Structure 1
Amino acid sequence: MTQHSNNVSSNNVGSDDFSGNRVSGSNAGSDNLDVVIVGGGAAGLNAALVLARARRRVALLDSGEPRNAPAVHMHGFLSRDGMPPADLRAAGRAEIERYGGDLIDGRVESVERIERLAGTVRGFVVRLAGGRALRARRIVMATGLRDELPAIPGVRERWGRDVLHCPYCHGYEVADQPIGVIADQPLALHQALLLRQWSHDVVYFAHGADVSADAREQLAARGIRVVEGQVGGLVVGDDDRLAGVGMADGRVVPRAAVFVPPRFIPNDALLTGLGCEKDAAGFVVTDASGRTSVPGVWAAGNVADPRAQVITAAGQGSAAAIALNGDLLEEDVDREVHDHRRALAVSP
């Protein structure tokens, strides 16, 4: 996503925008909304569902590029264990539409703040590829992250099949099989020790990294073999299944599944373009509800929390929606009290 730097003044928006007046029925065709949610994964879908049920005017913008697209099934989601990720997305979209929420397929190019005097946030303009602009009182960013994988031949091609990243997501499915862990990231040591719970045959591929004496002792105590040297690529059998890990020196270590901890890169260009603060790990700072350092902007799911699984991201979307609705309520009440006092002042 590209964050444009052009500014938008309050003069670009009519005086009745961001009024918060709710209209019944679908939002279809309305570009003046209470909330725009960017991202159509579990976090964004659940935020949209809660807000639509709260009768807020909400639109969910989805570029159609889910992180878990390579995965055949998702796991660890109560009542949805084993469901294909695409089916969860389809079910969520249908539920949002049932409550009158808008679903807009497209890529967001920029999000810009509209300010009142003294820097008070009045709302946001969200611009999509193709030129359409949506105006909203609040924003939820649920744009996720991308997995940066090591440049090992075969890893990207088999990602989500027999090259995996999360033991809690996929460990049960490869239980009691020969498993390998490639040490491309520091998390690999923890993963190797953890995966011993699922298989008695775990191999730790050092991949050129230094393995400390303490780490070697832990691995040995868990019955995990260390293979030294650089990994050259993955070996695939005639049945299109992983057969082993090929070393740069020609050795092949038979394995049925390989875990590769990726480097997590948040899709946060829109958030940083708005000025949201980031922590030392490079992720946007939020409070427990997902509120960022920029007024009116919430973040939910992997864009702010790399550890969030599908069920966690969905919960974060719900929490953000409830907190955001409370924020809108305070604004609505303040405005209504002001209007009420004005009406009393002019009444005969």
Structure 2
Amino acid sequence: MQAWDVIIVGGGSAGLSAALMLGRSRRRVLVVDAGRPRSRTAAHMHGVLGRDHTSPLDLLAAGRAELTRYDVVVESGEVAGAVPLDAESAGADGLSFELELESGARHAARRVLVATGLVDELPDIPGLAGQWGRGVVLCPYCDGWEVRDERIAVIASGAANAHQAQLLRELSDDVTFFTGGAALPPATREGLEARGIAIEERPVAEVLEDGDGRLRAVRLDDGTELGADVVFVAPRAVANDGVLRELGARFMRQGGAQQVIVDDDGRTSVRGLYAAGNVIGPRSSVPWAMATGNLAGTAMNADLVEEDIRRAVERRG
């Protein structure tokens, strides 16, 4: 069983940012990456200073390349099991956790960071999933500029979608809000109508594409087709938090979902266990995920330094 200062589960922008900070502090770090980043279907990312309109996968590749100058190992795989270690198992190295990968390899670490992101569960509308990341997108800030002045459809799956439509109205005069047959609160309807946003109350049956695979229309359940160049939705965000649960982290209900409890530096309720990125909150901003990883990396190193001080003092005594 290999021993590390820190094992990072998840090699996205949060996990790699943490690894960078820890590697620069000469910590032995293992990054275990399943290779399924949330942004893998997107051709470009936006609003990332210095890398606007570049590939998110290129960003991760560049991050991995930067780590090669430090004592960081990136390994492809998934965690099959995770357990805390008792004092006897921890030994002189002060190991706190043991992780087993699907390959059967076993690793132990003094600290663990979980940065496994989340999965977007799309509304169950035929054709929607096939266009995800291309003709069907989520974030007006991430994708709105690219579809300015085009025909924008917003398919409601919750109250947040009305705000989505209002944000997109800044970018196009042709915005249609599909309610899915749900009744709109009077104030919401008034705000949409006042801003010239079309309201379509007939349920959506399908999202259609042309012969070249580009989104072309939204078909309603009565057969009517309404032309659209892009569809915005608000998927249900489901955190990949299995490792956090296995290791006993505390959760709270927020926004209708269970969310791991962390402090500003990513510490969970379990000593030595940290979390960063979209696994702690369903924000879609790459800079935000990077920042949470950066903070967690520095906090873990500071935590390890304090432990190193205590152990050094104990040896002297």
Q: Same fold (TM over 0.5)?
A: yes
In 2: Cα distance, 1:308 partner to 1:275 partner: 26
Tell me the number of residue pairs that the alignment of Structure 1 and Structure 2 aligns.
310
Establish whether residue 323 from structure 1 lines up as the match of residue 299 from structure 2. yes
User: Percent identity between the aligned chains?
Assistant: 46
Establish whether residue 269 from structure 1 lines up as the match of residue 245 from structure 2. no
One-letter identity of the residue aligned with 1:283: Q
Q: Which of 212, 216, 219 is equivalent to 1:243?
A: 216
1:6-63 Cα distance to aligned partner (Å, 9 max, x none)? xxxxxxxxxxxxxxxxxxxxxxxx8210000000100000000110011001010001
In 2: Cα distance, 1:289 partner to 1:259 partner: 32
In 1: Cα distance, 2:190 partner to 2:158 partner: 19
Is the contact made by 1:36 and 1:140 (CA closer than 8 Å) also made in structure 2? yes
Q: Secondary structure at the match of 2:60?
A: helix
Return the offset for 1:186.
2.2
Return the offset for 1:291.
0.6
1:249-300 Cα distance to aligned partner (Å, 9 max, x none)? 0111111000011000000011011111112121101000111111101100
Q: Which of 42, 54, 60 is equivalent to 2:13?
A: 42
Establish whether residue 178 from structure 1 lines up as the match of residue 178 from structure 2. no
The runs of 5 or more residues in structure 2 that have no matched partner are none
Q: Which of 334, 340, 343 is equivalent to 2:316?
A: 340
1:201-235 Cα distance to aligned partner (Å, 9 max, x none)? 11000112111211110101111010011100012
In 2: Cα distance, 1:175 partner to 1:114 partner: 54
Q: Which of 40, 60, 64 is equivalent to 2:35?
A: 64
Q: Secondary structure at the match of 1:261?
A: coil
In 1: Cα distance, 2:211 partner to 2:28 partner: 53
Establish whether residue 31 from structure 1 lines up as the match of residue 37 from structure 2. no
In 2: Cα distance, 1:219 partner to 1:169 partner: 22
Partner of 1:294: 270
Is the contact made by 1:97 and 1:103 (CA closer than 8 Å) also made in structure 2? no
Q: TM-score, normalised by structure 2?
A: 0.95
Q: Which of 117, 120, 123 is equivalent to 2:96?
A: 123
Q: TM-score, normalised by structure 1?
A: 0.87
Displaced runs of 4+ in structure 1, greater than 2 A? none
Q: Secondary structure at the match of 2:190?
A: helix
1:102-121 Cα distance to aligned partner (Å, 9 max, x none)? 0111111111100228x9x8
Q: Secondary structure at the match of 1:87?
A: helix
Aligned residues: CA RMSD: 1.4
Return the offset for 1:239.
3.1
The runs of 5 or more residues in structure 1 that have no matched partner are 1-29, 342-348
In 2: Cα distance, 1:305 partner to 1:211 partner: 27
Is the contact made by 2:95 and 2:109 (CA closer than 8 Å) also made in structure 1? no
In 2: Cα distance, 1:278 partner to 1:174 partner: 38
Q: Of the two, which has the highest radius of gyration? A: 1
